[in-house]
Amino acid sequence: MLPTLLNQITSRFVLAPLFVLGAAISPLAFESEDSERSLLQRGGLTPVIGHWSQVDDGGPAMLVDGSKWSGKSNADSLGATARRLFGAPAPDFVKNNMGDGSFPIAVHEPTASFANGTLRVRFKLVGGATDQIAGILFGLKPDGSYYYVRYNTRDDNVALWKYVNGAREVIAHGAVHVRLTLGAWHELVVQIDGPKVSGWIAGQDSIRVEHALPAAVTGRVGVWAKRDAVTGFREFGVSAGR
């Protein structure tokens, strides 16, 4: 069944080598408006917004490429995805993720709701017009709001942000600033215990942020990137429980 589905998908796209830091890989590329996005998943991550590709880069991975994204999403397709994720129509999700302030995200579809535990993902910083960046989102709601913890090379730190009503706002910056190597795989870890949020780079735990939100957060989880970012993600993991 899977080979048949993939053959159907590949028949719709012209596959060309994608060169990422000297390594040639052949992705199945599509933008968020493609109705068959659910068939193109790695590690349970389903692209929702942005231009995503399946790649092989030392193992199965997904690549978000802001340089290839139109910056727009199809409202009907985005609404259908929101309906599948939340089990009901979610017009606010569409409204708040259609504007110029929206960001590329992919959702871990097997996790319907997450409140306490640990999220982790391996990421590779490849490119970006302003900086290189990768993040983990959590608390994604039907209205399109969410929180995310990200590392970027503009600040060289880990920080906690929120996205609500189509705009983002920083909550807390980590105090330690270290430039991570580009073109190498790193791991971002986010731990949530009620309202307490901690995020750090595995193996370099001092690159971290810690903050207590006003209340505990529940919702869907996944990965996040800026509009112009080129970032690889793989091995997204969810460990529930305190």
Query: In whole angstroms, what is the distance from residue 64 CA to residue 228 CA?
Result: 9
- Name the domain count of the chain: 1
pLDDT of residue 105: 98
Report the mean per-residue pLDDT for the chain. 85
Torsion of CA 132, 136, 140, 146, to 10 degrees: -50
Answer whether 221's CB lies under 8 Å from 85's CB: no
Find the mean pLDDT for residues 191-216: 97
100 pLDDT band, cuts 50/70/90, is confident
Q: Is residue 12 part of a domain?
A: no
On whether residue 91 sits in a domain, the answer given is yes
Query: 15 in a domain, yes or no?
Result: no
Q: Does residue 13 belong to any structural domain of this protein?
A: no
CA distance 114 to 61: 23
pLDDT band at 66 (very low <50, low <70, confident <90, very high): very high
Residue 154 lies in a domain: yes
User: Residue 177: which CATH number?
Assistant: 2.60.120.560
pLDDT at position 42 is 60
Least confident of 12-21, 99-108, 180-189: 12-21
Does residue 173 belong to any structural domain of this protein?
Answer: yes
Of the ranges 19-23, 42-46, 157-161, which is most confident?
157-161
Contacts by residues 36-40 (CB-CB < 8 Å, ≥ 24 positions apart): 36/9, 36/12, 37/81, 38/84, 38/109, 39/5, 39/6, 39/9, 40/9
Q: Mean pLDDT over residues 216-220, rounded?
A: 97
Record the tokens describing residue 24, joined without a space. 């040639």
pLDDT, residue 219, reads 98
Q: In which domain, by residue range, is 232 found?
A: 2-6+21-240
Task: Tell me if 9 sits within 8 A of 1, measured CB to CB.
Answer: no
Partnered with residue 54 across adjacent β-strands are 28, 62
Q: What percent of the chain has pLDDT over 90?
A: 77
Least Cα distance to 64 among 112, 114, 160, 132 occurs for 132
Q: Let me know if residue 183 belongs to a domain.
A: yes
Task: Tell me if 48 is assigned to some domain.
Answer: yes
How far is residue 74's CA from residue 94's CA, in Å, rounded to a whole number?
9
